[in-house]
Amino acid sequence: MSSITLAEAFARTPYPVPGHGLRNVDVLKEALAHMDGDLDSDVYGTGAIIEDFQNKIASYLGKDTAVFFPSGTMAQQIALRIWCDQKGLRRVAYHPLCHLEIHEQDGMRELHHIEPVLLADKDRLIKLEDLRNMQEDIACLLLELPQREIGGELPEYEELEAIAAYCKEKGIKLHLDGARLFEIVPYYQRSAAEICSLFDSVYVSFYKGIGGIAGAILAGDQAFTERSKVWKRRHGGDLISLYPYILSSEYYFDQRIDRMQQYYEEAKELAALYNQCRGVKTRPLMPVSNMFHVHVELEKEQLEPLLISLYEETGIGLTANLRTLGEKSCYFEISLGERYAGMPRDRLREAFQLLDEKLKELAQAQ
């Protein structure tokens, strides 16, 4: 039994595979390094720093206006509340593994008294058929692109267009949980604005694929965003200044928005290495963005020491944590960023060859 944890072993590796790098103070220091120290901060949602960035992202998303929020959790609850108030109906629909359902401590229900309708089975995407078979009336449908908790899967674009058309026909508002919107543009081969044109409101994150310290944008038409500003104040999100989040968001957005194609191609390369190993399968089999899940036919308690020894022998760090999946399997999530480009490919291939050998040896011993 190793004396260190998987997370500790991962942190010691000279070549960790996923992400942009360490989330430490240097992330902010780098973003601020070339800024004019006399630049005025934003004040309660006003000022050039916040207004210019909001306009820049609204234009990128093809929306009339946008509002910067400190968190996506706040932004999305507010978006759904606005659409529910507009229709006079406190009911929305989304996937069973939606962030609002599993990661927010029932915030939508407790704060806004909005009831969800869970569409589709938890292990597949929402389809047009699910909407047509829905018995309840709803004010809004939330779609997450990509659907993170099932490996980052995406619907075909034609299916997405059909869902949007159905919602418009039925008077249902369509909201995009686009926490990873930037990362799916290469797969769809359409601009972010074209994708967002299917939706009445859009949320995007600036700490996931972009790698800022925190922050989100909520975009839509003028009436929608003006209401969102009121709710932002009510939620306590209208801080006197948000400029550390805004400046880091813009800095890393400018640096990385044009690298999403690179991250996507690298994810496909990495997934192929995983899929060559015994008892390992990625979901999706062929990634549709820079993120995917890795499923392993071993219990978490069996895989952890195997990975720790692999890290110590090769210096390659694959993941810092594992999650149980069923009785005899586990999985972990991969999201590629800046680190992967500097990965020594020979060493990486050797690490996967060794991983395959270790998995085969363990299977034969059982």
Tens-digit pLDDT profile for residues 272-321 = 999 999 999 999 999 999 999 999 999 999 999 999 999 999 999 999 99
Contact call for residues 183 and 148 (beta carbons, < 8 A) = no
Nearest-angstrom CA–CA distance, 336 and 2:
28
Show Cβ contacts of residue 100 under 8 Å, excluding neighbours closer than 6 positions.
76, 77, 80, 94, 107, 108, 116, 142
Nearest-angstrom CA–CA distance, 323 and 296:
10
Average pLDDT, the chain: 97
Show Cβ contacts of residue 179 under 8 Å, excluding neighbours closer than 6 positions.
72, 99, 144, 148, 203, 204, 205, 208
Show Cβ contacts of residue 190 under 8 Å, excluding neighbours closer than 6 positions.
157
Contact call for residues 292 and 151 (beta carbons, < 8 A) = yes
pLDDT at residue 258, as a whole number: 98
Nearest-angstrom CA–CA distance, 362 and 344:
27
Element (H, E) at 168: helix 157-170
pLDDT band at 366 (very low <50, low <70, confident <90, very high): confident
pLDDT band at 252 (very low <50, low <70, confident <90, very high): very high
Contact call for residues 150 and 120 (beta carbons, < 8 A) = no
Please name the residue that has the structure tokens 């991250």: 263
Phi, psi of 246 (to 5 degrees): -65, -50
Question: What's the whole-model pTM score?
Answer: 0.96
pLDDT band at 1 (very low <50, low <70, confident <90, very high): low
Tens-digit pLDDT profile for residues 153-182 = 999 999 999 999 999 999 999 999 999 999
Six token digits for residue 306: 């195997």
